[in-house]
Amino acid sequence: MRSAIDIIRSSRNFTALWLGQTLSQFGDAVLWITLPLAVFHSSSSALELGVIMGLFMLPQIVLLPFTGILADRVSRIRAMMVTDVIRFALVSAMAIVYVMHAMSPDVLGGFVLMYGAMEAVFNPAYSGARQQVFTPEIRTAAGVGAIASAYIYGRRHMWQRRAYIAYGGLAINALAILGLSFARATVHLMIVMAIASAGSMMFGVVWESSMQELVAPEAYGRAASLDYFGSWVMLPVGNILTGWLAGKIGGIHTIWAESIFMLLVTIVTMAVPAVRRFD
């Protein structure tokens, strides 16, 4: 029986996709660290940050029902490459604006609208590419590519009671976010966020692998776009409400309220028998 590393190495497409998206995702991670700092630099308002993040999600919600169809009709790799180049150009332009001391909420709003539109094209194409590249052997071996949770999940060919794993991960994520309010040092924040990310990845791995098993390749772009749409449709409202609530009651109490709400939603979802029976 081949090891997980041997299975992954045997697929050049997997290696190319993994290397390319590792660099792309690193850029995204840097962006989402610097974007809130840029907002606070220009306005120092939690509500403004919520509005900016809401504007980022708005074009995705509007465009996702259509970009999924596009992802099933054009080259998914080419769509990813074009949107990555455009996103790089947008980020480079924002860096120049910042150096010129021309940053403002209006400029940030225009940037996130354009960046969000590119995300709306990229995400269904990327999901479809993963479904094509991740053969059943690779899905079992790599578990969709997470570092800790996905590695453990991918150690077995098939897990039973996957709903408990998925929503257990969301519960861990909610409790870890609650723990953020009690962190007193940078190392504590790093540990808590690592736990939160592991919990979130547990859900993501189960969800992604289930979709790859159940959805036909020729329809995967449309299915992924509807998945993103359903998951994100209320995010603009949530982002604005979070910013407003943080301005009213403070960031710590907002973390408490929202993490408890997440935990309650998880419990209510698991109370549905059909969800608990999902294998």
Domain boundaries, the chain: 4-276
Per-residue pLDDT at 151: 53
DSSP letter assigned to residue 184: -
Per-residue pLDDT at 14: 62
Mean pLDDT value across residues 155-167: 74
DSSP letter assigned to residue 162: H
Question: Which phi and psi (to 5°) does residue 100 adopt?
Answer: -80, 0
Per-residue pLDDT at 43: 75
Per-residue pLDDT at 86: 92
Cβ(115)–Cβ(87) under 8 Å? yes
Per-residue pLDDT at 48: 84
- Which residues, other chains included, contact 257 with Cβ-Cβ below 8 Å and sequence gap of 6+? 245, 249
| Strand, helix or coil for residue 148 | coil
Let me know how long the chain is: 279
pLDDT band at 209 (very low <50, low <70, confident <90, very high): confident
Mean pLDDT value across residues 225-249: 82
Percentage of the chain modeled with pLDDT above 90: 12
In terms of Cβ atoms closer than 10 Å to its own Cβ (0-12, 13-18, 19+), residue 268 is: exposed
Whether pTM > 0.95 for this model: the answer is: no
Cβ(57)–Cβ(238) under 8 Å? no
Joined together, the tokens standing for residue 192 give 């808590």
For the segment 10-34, what is each residue's pLDDT rounded down to a tens digit? 556 666 666 666 777 777 777 877 8
| Strand, helix or coil for residue 191 | helix
Question: Is the pLDDT reported for residue 3 higher than 50?
Answer: no
> Is the dihedral angle over the CA atoms 194, 234, 53, 50 positive or is it negative?
negative
Q: Which of 65, 58, 112, 116 is nearest to 230 (CA)?
A: 65
For the segment 242-257, what is each residue's pLDDT rounded down to a tens digit? 888 888 898 889 989 9
